[in-house]
Amino acid sequence: MYKALSLVLLLAAGVAAQSPKYKVGRAPTDDEIKAWDISIPPDGTGLPEGKGSAVEGKALYESRCQKCHGAKGEGGDYEQPIAGGKDTLKTPKPIKSVGSYWPYATTVWDYINRAMPFDRPETLTHDQVYSAVAYVLYLNGIIGEKDVLDAKSLPQIKMPNRDGFVKDPRPDVGAPAKKKRS
């Protein structure tokens, strides 16, 4: 669903860029569309080479993440917790952290890769992203400190809330299109 929607939106943007009234813009090339299509689905398709562990991620977290997310992922002045909240989703005050709420470890990778650190998004190397993800998962007790994450192991992680979401029953919403790894 995500891939198909992304592709439709990109193609629509390309068509919209072809403004006949103003005669500006052009359709995006296939290479431009490929460069924009960087989302990572739950099965990990498209994850790049690289690897990292919580041991490697700890120093990165302390220098680049802790200011906003707290020393143990408990959250800061501006951010929700990214760790903790186990068994709180059905309580009156649920804590929606990576460990309690997020359904897929690949989503954590995708988000950190695209949006973190907040003040300089998309500046982390792939190894740094794997390491940061490993550290966040370690803070949540999902993996061990020395477990190594890579494109093969990351999609295999079963997040605590993986089965906590309701599947979309609409018949017009199919499975996301699979993209080939490059």
User: Is the confidence at residue 6, as pLDDT, over 80?
Assistant: no
**Residue 77: pLDDT band with limits 50, 70, 90:** confident
Same domain, 75 and 106: yes
42 within a domain of the structure (yes/no)? no
What rounded mean pLDDT belongs to the chain? 87
What does the H/E/C string look like for the chain? CHHHHHHHHHHHHHHHCCECCCCECCCCCHHHHHHHCCCCCCCCCCCCCCEEEHHHHHHHHHHHCHHHHCCCCCCCCCCCCCCCCCCCCCCCCCCCCCCCCCCCHHHHHHHHHHHCCCCCCCCCCHHHHHHHHHHHHHHCCCCCCCCEEECCCHHHCCCCCCCCCCCCCCCCCCCCCCCCCC
Same domain, 21 and 85: no
What domain count does the chain have? 2
**Residue 137: pLDDT band with limits 50, 70, 90:** very high
Same domain, 26 and 70: no
Find the helix or strand (DSSP H, E) in which 31 lies: helix 30-36
Residue predicted with more confidence, 166 or 3: 166
User: Is the confidence at residue 11, as pLDDT, over 60?
Assistant: no
Residue predicted with more confidence, 7 or 97: 97
Same domain, 23 and 63: no
- 10 Å CB burial of residue 149 (0-12, 13-18, 19+) is buried
- What is the CATH classification number for the domain harbouring 65? 1.10.760.10
Instruction: Provide the residue range defining the domain that includes 27.
Output: 2-36
Summarised one tens digit per residue, pLDDT across range 88-97 is 999 999 999 9
Same domain, 89 and 128: yes
User: Is the confidence at residue 4, as pLDDT, over 80?
Assistant: no
Q: What pLDDT, on a 0 to 100 scale, did the predictor assign at position 170?
A: 86
User: Is the confidence at residue 178, as pLDDT, over 80?
Assistant: no
163 within a domain of the structure (yes/no)? no
Same domain, 23 and 97: no
Q: What pLDDT, on a 0 to 100 scale, did the predictor assign at position 128?
A: 98
Amino acid letter, 33: I
